[in-house]
Amino acid sequence: MIKEFGIKVVYQGRLKRGEDILQGMTEVMKARGLTGGIISGIGAVSQAHIGYYNAAARVYEEKMLRENLEIVSLKGNISLKDGQPFPHLHIVLSGADYSTVGGHLFGDTLVFAFEYEIIVFEGDPFVRTFDEDTGLFLWSI
């Protein structure tokens, strides 16, 4: 499936130290009624809560990293789930030894510094519905 969108607007912003990235980005989206687009960002966190989807067991395995880490890359998208703007974010982090770790981003990932861009699409956004084949909420075809 593929859908063509025009670009409506681009936002650039920053979350404050101590903010929860997932919650903060959700608030930005809801305050502006953003329902479709792309999110990207860089910066650093004081702790990170990431996940790996165990496809066989159909559950997210979760990991809490309680340390200061660089955000090498944060990338995600915005669509609708249950009628609400929903951010799906992934993150790659690095530590003092420069090795990287990453995964699906959960709440309780706290900002040390975070700079982001949001590219907002025109038109009707994708809508997430439960997909029996994967056990995930995916864009409906």
Residue 14 or 104: which CB sits closer to Zn ion?
104
> In the complex, what is the shortest distance from the CB of residue 141 to Zn ion, in angstroms, rounded to a whole number?
18
> In the complex, what is the shortest distance from the CB of residue 65 to Zn ion, in angstroms, rounded to a whole number?
17
Encode 27-60: b = buried (16+ Cβ within 10 Å), e = exposed. Answer: ebbeeeebbbbbbebebebbebbbeeeeeeeeee
Task: Tokens for 108, please give them.
Answer: 């309780």
Residue 14 or 75: which CB sits closer to Zn ion?
75
Distance of CA 99 to CAs 43, 71, 105, Å? Answer: 16, 12, 18
Dump the DSSP string for 6-61: -EEEEEEEEEPTT-BHHHHHHHHHHHHT--SEEEEEEEEEEEEEEEEEETTTTEEE
Residue 86 or 114: which CB sits closer to Zn ion?
86
Residue 51 or 115: which CB sits closer to Zn ion?
51
> In the complex, what is the shortest distance from the CB of residue 46 to Zn ion, in angstroms, rounded to a whole number?
22
Q: How far is residue 124's CA from residue 122's CA, in Å, rounded to a whole number?
A: 7
Residue 81 or 104: which CB sits closer to Zn ion?
104
Say whether residue 128 binds Zn ion (CB under 5 A): no
Lay out the site mask for Zn ion across 85-114 (x = CB under 5 A, - = otherwise): -------------------x----------
> In the complex, what is the shortest distance from the CB of residue 136 to Zn ion, in angstroms, rounded to a whole number?
8
Contact positions vs Zn ion (CB under 5 A): 104
